[in-house]
Copies of this chain bind each other. A is one copy, B any other.
């Protein structure tokens, strides 16, 4: 009889966000008039930039003209988009990244999971704690972990705690690891990595032959000019790092879907007999075989991000969400709540008041303020006692949510 992948049964009851949705729906059904404000999922709320919309309408019109119609595109993405990304996002910041090393995809979450396809089953894997759950869950599903313990930690993974106690700087692993997930600006804590911190990681990875999976989905929120946007701004990263980026959070593409992954041609891994093999060829083969490229229409929308108008419009969007983050930080601080992040990131990482557990604070905010956030413990046991508030919402909703919370905690 057909056998299933048993590893799926190791997954804990629910991916974090479905569990939040379940509690919110349950509350909303019992309290249909409660004006719930959602600052939970990191989903954008403001309209798509006009430059992107115009480009997509033009692209739809291309599809109606036989001479301009596009069938299957390159699985790696169109050259005109890859070239603009390479020039603007990487070469413009001094990074040695070629357009051929950029793979366009329909989402960073997808690529974060799919990248495991080309890696072996016996790598030792390090993740920060708290951590974006997809890094962990996709490794569980791929059979790279043991069972979860009572705290939700999976056997075999190396967890690197990040909390106020270490200024949200993850320590180097206490044993050699092969694969390291880093996300900066960090989801969920909103922490950033200095150039020195990133250099430490790159040096570690090169010394140990490790591969860093660097998630830079939030790089556009960096306001401090001293903070690198790309890991390739750091010496040696081309030898040890893959970088994931997205148009979701800078251009509001969460429902439009476009992202990219950088796989330098200089990256190497080993086969089980120790032969060095380049990772770019494996990823190129993976994408050619299991992916058919992103819609031409959507790629034209992403390209418009790099026009002058597009750049102006996304800067306005980012500034808008960062101002929301400032309001959240300052309002919470005004009633004595300790907060982190929210300066170079769209997430404010709140220390729960009164020593409440993360889920108790979640329930309290939902039931008394009708505000939804994300329990820190949902991101890992070191997130217990913290709570993530997202800056992605309208100004009016952010102000109203903060008014309710400050009224309660004043």
Binding site for B on A (CB under 8 A): 1-6, 8-9, 11, 15, 18, 41, 43-48, 50, 53, 56-57, 60-61, 63-66, 69-73, 106-107, 109-110, 113-114, 117-123, 134, 137-138, 141, 178-179, 208-211, 252, 254-257, 269-272, 277, 279, 282, 285-286, 288-298, 394
Of the A-B pairs whose beta carbons lie under 8 Å apart in the complex, a sample of 26, sorted by A's number, is A1-B209, A2-B178, A2-B211, A3-B123, A3-B271, A4-B119, A4-B120, A4-B271, A8-B285, A8-B286, A9-B271, A44-B71, A53-B64, A56-B297, A57-B57, A63-B256, A66-B394, A72-B254, A106-B295, A109-B290, A113-B290, A114-B290, A138-B289, A256-B297, A257-B294, A297-B297
Taken together, the copies of this chain in the complex come to 2
> A280 to nearest B CB, angstroms?
12
Q: Which residue on chain B has the smallest CB distance to residue A298? A: B295
Q: Which residue on chain B has the smallest CB distance to residue A177? A: B2
Does A3 contact B270, Cβ atoms closer than 8 Å? yes
A119 in contact with B291 given A72-B41, A72-B255, A255-B63 (CB within 8 Å): no
Does B71 contact A296, Cβ atoms closer than 8 Å? no
A2 in contact with B134 given A45-B69, A141-B117 (CB within 8 Å): no
In the complex, what residues of B have CB within 8 A of residue A44's CB? 71
Q: Which residue on chain B has the smallest CB distance to residue A120? A: B3
Does A269 contact B57, Cβ atoms closer than 8 Å? no
Does B4 contact A270, Cβ atoms closer than 8 Å? yes
Cα of A141 to Cα of B287 in the assembled complex, Å: 12
Does A60 contact B64, Cβ atoms closer than 8 Å? no
Known: A109-B291, A257-B292. 10 other contacts (CB 8 A): A1-B178, A3-B122, A3-B271, A4-B118, A4-B270, A46-B69, A66-B394, A71-B254, A255-B293, A256-B295
